[in-house]
Amino acid sequence: MRPMIIPLLAAALAVSGAASAQDKTITLGAAVQLTGRLANTGRYYGDGYQITVDRINEKGGVTVGGAKYKLALKIYDSQSDTNLGVRQYVQLVAQDKVNFLLGPFSSNDALDDSVIAEKYQVPMVQGGGASTQIFSRGYKYVFGTLPPADDYFASTIKMMGKLSPKPKTVALVAADDSFDVSVANGTRKLLKEAGLELVVDKQFRENNADFSSILSLVKSKDPDVILWAGHEGEALNFIRQAKSLDVNPKLLYSFTVGVPTADFRKALGKDAEYAFGMTPWLPEKELKDDWFGDAVQFDKEYQAKFKYAPDYHAASAAADVETFAKAIAAAGTLDPKKVRDAIASVDFQSLYGHIKFQPNGQISLPQTVIQIQDGKVVPIFAEDFLAKPRYPIAPWSKR
Amino acid sequence: MQLFGQILVNGILLGGLYGLMGLGMGLVWGVLKIVNLAHGALIMLGGYALYYLYTKAGIDPFLGLPLAMLAMFVLGYLLQTALLNLIVRAAQLNTLLLTFGLDVVFVYLAQLLFTADFRTINPPYAGKNVSISGVVVPYAQFGAFLVALVLAGLLFLVLEKTRTGRAIRATAQNLTAARLYGVNPKRIYAITFGAGAALAGAAGGLYGIVSQITPYIGVTLTAKSFVIAILGGLDKPLGVIGGGLILGIAEAMAALYLDPTYTDIISFGLLVVVLIARPAQLLGRA
Amino acid sequence: MNRYRWLALPIAAAALAVVPWVTSDTIVQYGINALLVATLAQAWNVIGGFSGYPSFGNSVFYGLGTYGTAIAMAQFHWSFGSGLVFGAVLGVACALLFGIPILRLRGPYFAIATLGLAAVMSAITATVEIAGKNIGLILPLFRGDKLFYELSLILLVAATGTVAWIARSRFGAGLVAIREDEDAAQVMGINTTMYKVAALTVAALFSALAGGIHAYWITFIDPASAFDPSLNVRMVIMTLFGGPGTVLGPVLGAFVLSAVSEVLASQATGVASLFYGFVIVIAVLVMPKGLLDLVQGFRETGWRYFVDNLRRYRI
C-alpha cells in the first residue's frame, strides 16, 4: 500500500513539524503521480524526494544564516490527473504555505504545474520535464534537472559516426506529445548535420497500442538504424510487435525510454537484448555526493529501502532536493527571490552529476549511450567508447 | 504490393481481437439494455487473471483461457445478481453511471492489488511468426484471431440453438412474454452478463499476449468496444466480429496511407458516421 | 414567506461574490473550479435534465471553447473578450452542425454518439497545426485569479438564470414534453427538432464559455485536458446527484461533490478515487432522482425512501 505511506508520512512530518516549535523546518512541496497512468514512473519521484530529504536531515539538515533547519516534505498524489495536480500545487503554495516546490513527472504536467510556481513566484526545481517548451517561456522561477529533449539522441548519433560498419539510413518513429516532439525536432537537425538519411519519419499518437502499420512500413524501407521516442508502455509494444512481425534494423535500434528501467527489462525478458538507449545517470563511483557518498551508495540504499532499483528519474529527483539544500544554504535566507537567484548560480557535484543550470533554467548533462547485454545495462559511449557494443544487433531469427 | 498485403493481414488479425472485445459489450447492451462502462475494466481483470495463471501456475495462456473466462463469468454473474439487477428497470442513464462507478472501483482495486507495473504474458511462442509469400503472420496475433472467431461462433450457436440461448433472445425481445413462457429473468440476466464478462476476460487475456496489461488499459478499450459493438449491431456475434475487422483494417490502412496519428479520428469518426447514417436499424432497438 | 424566498438566491450569489476577498487563494482556486464545473452541470441540465437527451459528450463544447479562446489569444493575439466570443462561436457552430443528425438518436445511442463526437474532435484537434497539435498551446500568463473567479460566478449565475427562465417558459414546457413522450409532443404540434437543437445550443454556449475562462486561467492547454473525457461523467453525476430537471439541483450537486472530492484529494489521497466510485454506485442505487428529491422524499417517507428506491427498479 505504498501510495498510503507517503501522505501518511507527510502528515506525520507535518504534525511533528507543527508540534515541535523548536525544530525549524523548510518544507518542500510537490504533487506527484503516485497512482494512475503515470504511477509507474511517478513513484520514482516520490521515493527519490523522500530518501534524499531523510538523508539530508540525518546529516544535520540545512544551515541557513547560522541556524539549523530540517527539511520537510509535503507530497500530494495527483492521480496522474494534470488538472488535479495544478490545483494541488496552488494548495501547496497558498494553503500549506510550503517554502519551495519540487516537480511532477512528465513534461505535460511540469508545463502546467510550473505556471503556478511562476505565478506565485515560488522557486520550483523539477526533474521530470525535459521538453524545451517548459524553458522557452521566459519563466524565472522554474528550473529543471533533466537535460534538453532535443539533445537526447546526440550522443547516440555521435557514436553512430564512429561505428563500423557506419550507418547511413535512419527511421525516426516518435510520439506526438510535448517531450517526444522536442526529441524528434532536435534529432532531425542532428541527423542532417551528421549526414544521415531519414528514410522513415513517422509520428504516432501517444498511448497508441498498435504499431503494426509503422513497423511494416519500416520493414519495407529496411533502414540501418531505428530511433524511437515515446513512453515506456509504447516502447514495450513496439519491441514485442517488432519481434512478432520480424522487423529488424540492419544495424541497431535505440529508445528514449525503458532501457535504463528495471521493470521494462523484466517485462520484455530476453526480447530486451541488444536494445540501445540513453541515460543522463548511472550508479557510478565517480559521482561523488555530499550526503550519500557516491551514486553507488545511493543506488544500494534506495534499493534496500524501496525494493526496486532507481534509475535516472529517481536520481534526478534526489538532485532537485539537493539543489535546494545547497541554494538555500548559499542564499543564507528563505526569501524566495534570493533563493531563486542562488539556484540560478548553483554549481556542485552530486550523485546525479554536475548540477549547473543554463540561463533558461535547464540543466545541461550529456546522455550516456547504454545497451542491454545479458539483461544488464552496459554503458557503451559517452565522449568515446566505454565498452564494446554488440553491433550489429542480431536479427530476431538469430536470437 | 507486399506492403499492402502485410498491412491488410495486420488489420485483419487486429480486427479479430477487436471483434472479441466488442462481443461482450454488444451482448450485454443488446440483451440487458445495459451500457457497461466497466467493460474495459473487465477486459483488464481478465488479462490479470490469465497473467497470474501463466506466471504463477505455469499454465499455457491459450490453455488457461477457459479458466480465466470461467473466473470472469462468476464475477459477472455476481455483479449482475447483486448490483445490476437492482437498476435494470431504471432509466438507462443510471446503468451508465453505475457501471462507471464500478469501473472506478475496479481500477482502484487493480492498482492496489497488482501495482502499476507493466505485465506481459510472454509464452515462448509469443514472438514467433510464419512467413507466407513475404507476408509475416505472427503466431500470437493469429492465435488471438482464431480464438476470437471460435468464441464468436460459439456465442452465435449458443444463442441460436440452445435453450438458454433462446431464452436470452426472448428476454431481449420481450421480457413480459418471456416471463409468461417460464423464463426466470434474474437468472437469464445474470447468465448473460456473466457471458459478457467472460468474453471480455478472454479479450483481456489475449490482449496481454499481444500487448501489455496495466490497471489503466480499460478506458481506451471501453471506448473502442463501443465503436465495434455498434458497427456490428450489438448482439449479433458475427456482425460484431465483422465490425471489429472493419475497424482493424481501417485503422491499419489509415496508419500507413494517411498518418498514424489519425487512428482515433478513424475509429470515432466511423462511430459517429454509422450512428448518424443508420439510425433506422438502430432506432428500432432503442 | 414565499414572497421573500426569491431574495435567497441573489443573497447567495452576493455572498459567493465576496469570497475571494475574505478567504485564501486555495479556496479561490477551488472556487473557480467548482463554479466552472457547476456551469457545465447546469448546461448539461438543459439537454439532459430537461429534454431527456443524456449527452455524454458535452466536453466537446467545453473543449472547443477552450481551444477557440486559446487559438485566438495565442495565435491571433486577440484580447480575452474576443477570444471568449470566438470560442463560444465554435461551440455553438458545432452544436448546430452536428445537433440535427445526432439528435435523431434516442437514449444511449445519442449518448454514445456524443461521446464519439467528443472523441473525434479531440483527435482532430491533436492533428491540427494551428491548435498546436498534441503539444497544445501556451497562453500569456495573467495573475488575476480574483477576476477569473468573478467571471466564473457571473457565468454560473447567467446559466442558472437561463435555466430558471426555461423552467417557467413555454420552451421549457416543450422540452419536458419531449422528455416525457417525444412522439406525443410531436403530435401536439411541437417542432421537436427545433426545440432539441435549441436546447443543445444553449448547453453548448455555456459549456464553451466555461472552457474559454478555463483556458486563460490554466494558461497551458492540450487536447487531453481541454477535451477531458472525465468531465462528461462528472457533470452528469453532479446533475443527477443534485436533481436533474430542477433549477438549483445541478449547482447543489456540483458544489457538494466538488467539495467532497477536493477534501479527499488533499486529506486521504490514497482512497480518493475509491470513495468517488462508491459514492456514485450508492447514489445511483438509493437516490437516483437527486438530492432535492431526496430531501423531499425523506420528509415524506423517512428512511423508507432509500429502501423504496432500491426496490423500485429491479427486475
B161-198, pLDDT tens digit by residue? 999 999 998 888 888 888 888 888 889 999 999 999 99
CA–CA separation, C116 vs C112, rounded Å?
6
- Residue A293 is predicted with a pLDDT of 93
Contact at 8 Å (CB) between A45 and A318?
no
Radius of gyration for the alpha carbons in chain C, expressed in angstroms and rounded: 20
Q: Which among A260-274, B129-143, B248-262, C202-216 has the top mean pLDDT?
A: C202-216
The 10s digit of each residue's pLDDT in C249-306 is 999 999 988 888 777 776 666 677 788 788 888 888 888 888 888 888 888 888 888 8
Residues of C in contact with B83 (CB under 8 A): 281, 285
The 10s digit of each residue's pLDDT in B221-240 is 998 998 899 888 888 899 99
Q: CB B101 to CB C288 under 8 A? A: no
Q: Which of A95, A113, A231 to mutate to test the interface with C (most CBs of C within 10 A)?
A: A95
Beta bridge partners of B134: none
Supply the mean pLDDT for chain B.
89
Q: CB C26 to CB A77 under 8 A? A: no
- Residue A14 is predicted with a pLDDT of 44
Residue A48 grid cell:
527519490
Mean pLDDT lowest among A161-165, A275-279, C168-172, C285-289? C285-289
CATH code for position B260:
1.10.3470
> Is pLDDT of A380 > 90?
yes
Does residue C268 form part of some domain? no
The 10s digit of each residue's pLDDT in C70-82 is 999 999 999 999 9
Mean pLDDT over C127-149 rounds to 85
- Residue B280 is predicted with a pLDDT of 58
Mean pLDDT lowest among C46-60, C116-130, C173-187, C228-242? C228-242
Selecting from B211, B214, B256 the residue whose C-beta is nearest the C-beta of A213 gives: B256
Is any Cβ of chain B less than 8 angstroms from the Cβ of A201?
A: no
Is any Cβ of chain A less than 8 angstroms from the Cβ of C26?
A: yes
Selecting from C25, C138, C228 the residue whose C-beta is nearest the C-beta of A90 gives: C25
Residues of C in contact with B279 (CB under 8 A): 104-105, 109
Residues of chain C numbered 23-52 and touching chain B (CB < 8 Å): 48
- Residue A17 is predicted with a pLDDT of 36
- Residue B283 is predicted with a pLDDT of 45
> Is pLDDT of C3 > 70?
no
pLDDT-derived band at A4, boundaries 50, 70, 90: very low
In angstroms, the separation between the Cα of residue C143 and the nearest Cα of chain A is: 6
Mean pLDDT over B7-13 rounds to 93
Residues of A in contact with B139 (CB under 8 A): 244
The three-state secondary structure class of A388 is coil
The DSSP result for chain C, as a single string, is: -HHHHTTHHHHHHHHHHHHHHHS-HHHHHHHHHHHHHHHHHHHHIIIIIIT----S-THHHHHHHHHHHHIIIIIS---HHHHHHHHHHHHHHHHHHHHHHHTTS-HHHHHHHHHHHHHHHHHHHTT-GGGTGGG-EEPPP---HHHHHHHHHHHHHHHHHHHHHHHHSHHHHHHHHHHH-HHHHHHTT--HHHHHHHHHHHHHHHHHHHHHHHHHHH-EE-HHHHT-THHHHHHHHHHHHH-TTSSSHHHHHHHHHHHHHHHHHHH-GGGHHHHHHHHHHHHHHH-TT-HHHHHHHHHHHTTHHHHHHHHHT--
CA–CA separation, B163 vs B178, rounded Å?
13
Mean pLDDT over B109-138 rounds to 87
Q: CB B283 to CB C122 under 8 A? A: no
The three-state secondary structure class of A115 is helix
CA–CA separation, C236 vs B260, rounded Å?
33
CA–CA separation, A207 vs A234, rounded Å?
7
How many helices (H) and strands (E) are present in chain A, helices listed first? 12, 17
Residues of chain A numbered 143-182 and touching chain B (CB < 8 Å): 176
Q: Which among A79-88, A93-102, B63-72 has the top mean pLDDT?
A: B63-72
Q: CB B129 to CB A245 under 8 A? A: yes
Q: Is the pTM of this model over 0.80?
A: yes
CA–CA separation, A355 vs A379, rounded Å?
21
- Residue A295 is predicted with a pLDDT of 94
Is any Cβ of chain A less than 8 angstroms from the Cβ of B87?
A: no
Beta bridge partners of A381: A369, A385
Cβ-based neighbours of A129, under 8 Å, separated by 6 or more = A103, A104, A106, A107, A108, A109, A110, A111, A114, A144, A146, A179
> Is pLDDT of A199 > 70?
yes
Supply the mean pLDDT for chain A.
89
Residue B84 grid cell:
445490476
CA–CA separation, A2 vs A23, rounded Å?
27
The DSSP result for A4-37, as a single string, is: HHHHHHHHHHHHHHHH-TTSEEEEEEEEE--SST
**Taking CA atoms, what residue in A is nearest to C261?**
A84
Is any Cβ of chain B less than 8 angstroms from the Cβ of C281?
A: yes
Mean pLDDT lowest among B27-41, C89-103, C128-142? C128-142
Selecting from B109, B259, B264 the residue whose C-beta is nearest the C-beta of C119 gives: B264
Is any Cβ of chain A less than 8 angstroms from the Cβ of B216?
A: yes
Mean pLDDT over C113-119 rounds to 92
The three-state secondary structure class of A228 is strand
Q: Which of B113, B136, B224 to mutate to test the interface with A (most CBs of A within 10 A)?
A: B136
CA–CA separation, C165 vs C142, rounded Å?
35
**Alpha-carbon distances of A211 from A111, A242, A243, A279, B140, rounded to whole Å:** 28, 8, 12, 25, 15
**Alpha-carbon distances of C192 from B117, C105, C106, rounded to whole Å:** 51, 13, 13
The three-state secondary structure class of A70 is strand
Mean pLDDT lowest among A373-377, B18-22, B171-175? B171-175
Based on the number of CB atoms within 10 Å of its own CB, is B43 exposed (0-12), middle (13-18) or buried (19 or more)? Answer: buried
Residues of C in contact with B284 (CB under 8 A): none
Structural domain of residue C136, as residue ranges?
2-229
Burial pattern A101-121, b for ≥16 Cβ within 10 A else e, equals: bbbbbbbbbbbbbbbbbbbbe
- Residue A5 is predicted with a pLDDT of 44
B-C C-beta contacts closer than 8 Å: 154
Residues of A in contact with B109 (CB under 8 A): none
Contact at 8 Å (CB) between A73 and A50?
yes
The DSSP result for A351-374, as a single string, is: TTEEE-B-TTSBB--PPEEEEEET
Beta strands A353-355; A376-381: pairing state: unpaired
Beta strands A24-32; A100-102: pairing state: parallel
CA–CA separation, C67 vs C74, rounded Å?
10
CA–CA separation, B84 vs B286, rounded Å?
19
The 10s digit of each residue's pLDDT in A251-265 is 999 999 999 988 888
**Count of C-beta atoms within a 10 Å radius of residue A165:** 10
**Taking CA atoms, what residue in C is nearest to B186?**
C315
- Residue B39 is predicted with a pLDDT of 97
Residue A84 grid cell:
488535479
Q: CB C135 to CB A181 under 8 A? A: yes
Helix (H) or strand (E) holding A316: helix A312-331
> Is pLDDT of B102 > 60?
yes
Contact at 8 Å (CB) between A261 and A288?
no
- Residue A1 is predicted with a pLDDT of 40
> Is pLDDT of A273 > 90?
yes
CA–CA separation, C157 vs A392, rounded Å?
67
Q: CB A79 to CB C272 under 8 A? A: yes
Is any Cβ of chain A less than 8 angstroms from the Cβ of B203?
A: no
Those chains having 3 or more beta-carbon pairs within 8 angstroms of chain C are: A, B
**Alpha-carbon distances of A269 from A164, A238, B56, B140, C282, rounded to whole Å:** 28, 14, 16, 17, 44
Q: Name the more confident of A396 and B91.
A: A396
Q: CB B96 to CB C56 under 8 A? A: yes
Q: Can you state the angle between helices C8-22 and C145-168, rounded to 10 degrees?
A: 170
What ipTM does this complex have?
0.83
Give percent above pLDDT 90 in chain C.
44
Q: Which amino acid is at A316?
A: S
Selecting from C107, C279, C313 the residue whose C-beta is nearest the C-beta of B88 gives: C313
Is any Cβ of chain B less than 8 angstroms from the Cβ of A202?
A: yes
Does residue C299 form part of some domain? no
Does residue C104 form part of some domain? yes
Selecting from B14, B117, B139 the residue whose C-beta is nearest the C-beta of A210 gives: B14
Does residue C249 form part of some domain? no
**Taking CA atoms, what residue in A is nearest to C144?**
A119
Residues of B in contact with A203 (CB under 8 A): 259-261
> Is pLDDT of A13 > 50?
no
Count structural domains, chain C.
1
Selecting from C117, C123, C277 the residue whose C-beta is nearest the C-beta of B104 gives: C277
Supply the mean pLDDT for chain C.
88
Q: Which among A202-211, B80-89, B241-250, C98-107 has the top mean pLDDT?
A: B241-250
CA–CA separation, B201 vs C71, rounded Å?
43
Cβ-based neighbours of B265, under 8 Å, separated by 6 or more = C120, C123, C124, C127
Q: Which long-range contacts (CB under 8 A, 24 or more apart) does B55-61 make?
A: B55/B121, B60/B123, B61/B121, B61/B123, B61/B205, B61/B208, B61/B209
Structural domain of residue B218, as residue ranges?
2-285
The 10s digit of each residue's pLDDT in A306-356 is 999 999 999 999 999 999 999 999 999 999 999 999 999 999 999 999 999
A-C C-beta contacts closer than 8 Å: 87
In angstroms, the separation between the Cα of residue B121 and the nearest Cα of chain A is: 9
Count structural domains, chain B.
1
Q: CB A237 to CB B255 under 8 A? A: no
Contact at 8 Å (CB) between C281 and B101?
yes
- Residue A19 is predicted with a pLDDT of 40
- Residue C270 is predicted with a pLDDT of 64
CA–CA separation, C228 vs C188, rounded Å?
39
Is any Cβ of chain B less than 8 angstroms from the Cβ of C280?
A: yes
